[in-house]
Amino acid sequence: MSSTIDPRRHRELARLLAQLGLDSSQLDKIAPLGFNWLLVDRALVHPSFSNTYNNDQLEFVGDSVLRLSVSLFLQERYGDRSVGELAALRSHLVSDQTLAKIAGAYDLQKYVVVSNAARNDSQALRSLLADALEALMAALYIATQDLAYVRKWLDPQMQNFAEALLAIPALGNYKVALQELTQGVWKRLPEYRNLPKDLLTGDDNSLPFHVEVWFNDRCWGQGQGKSIKAAQQAAAAIALEEMQKFLAATPQ
C-alpha cells in the first residue's frame, strides 16, 4: 500500500470529516508530520476487499474508544442516574443497531470500500457499517490523541438516542416495566402462559411462539415472536399499556 492517498480519495475523506463537523485544514496542523489520512482511509476498508489492508485492527481499538466516549458522555449528562441505568443505556447506545443508524446519518456507506458481494448482503450491512464507524473512531483518536475529535460529532447523536431510550419504560424491557408496575401496586408478579399451537388459528401461526400475560385471573395481553423471550416482551408491552389505562381510569 502506498504511503499516500489518491487525491480523489483524499477529497472524499475530507468531505466525510466535514460532515462530522471536522475541518481537515485544522486536522493537518495537529501533528508535526500532518494528520494521518491513511488511518482514516484504512478505517473504511472492509476485510472483504483486502486481506492485508483493512479495518479489522482499527475496529478492535474503536470498540474501546466508543465505550469510553459513551461512558464519559453518560457520566456528564446523566450523572444523577444509577450505575445500573447508565449501564443499560450504554448497552443500547453502543449496539450495532445504534451505530448503523449513526453511520447512515453520515452516509458512511458511500465511503466504505467493500467487495461487491458484501455490499449486496443486506443481512451483513448493519454490522459492516457499525464496524466501519468504530474503526473511524479509532483512526481519529490515534491520529489526534484526543477524544474531542470523536465526541464532537458522536455526543449529539448519543443525546438523541439517549433521550428516545429514556422515554421507553425500563429502556424497552417491557417485562421489567410490567413487573415493576404489578409489584409496586399489587405486590405480586404477572404470569406468562405459553399458548399451545393446537389452539392457534389463521395468521396466528405466522410466528412460532405465542404467549399470554395473566394477572388477577385476567389475560392482559398476548404476544407473538420468533422466540419465547420475544413473545413475552410483545405480550408484556400490551399488558403494560392496558394496566396503565386501567389504573388511570380507576378512582384513587
Alpha helices in 78-220 (DSSP H): 83-93, 96-105, 116-119, 122-144, 148-166, 174-186
What lies within 8 Å, CB to CB, of 216 at 6+ separation is 186
- Cell readout for 83 is 450505575
Candidates 234, 35, 54, 232; CA nearest to 146 is: 35
- Cell readout for 37 is 489520512
d(Cα 252, Cα 248) in Å, to the nearest integer?
A: 9
Q: What one-letter code names the amino acid at 33?
A: L
Compute the C-alpha angle 106/109/113, nearest 5°.
Answer: 130
Give catalytic status of residue 134 as yes or no.
yes
d(Cα 155, Cα 239) in Å, to the nearest integer?
A: 35
Candidates 130, 55, 50; CA nearest to 97 is: 130
Catalytic residue among 63, 96, 121, 241: 63
d(Cα 190, Cα 214) in Å, to the nearest integer?
A: 6
Give catalytic status of residue 59 as yes or no.
no
Catalytic residue among 41, 59, 134, 155: 134
* Residues taking part in catalysis: 63, 134
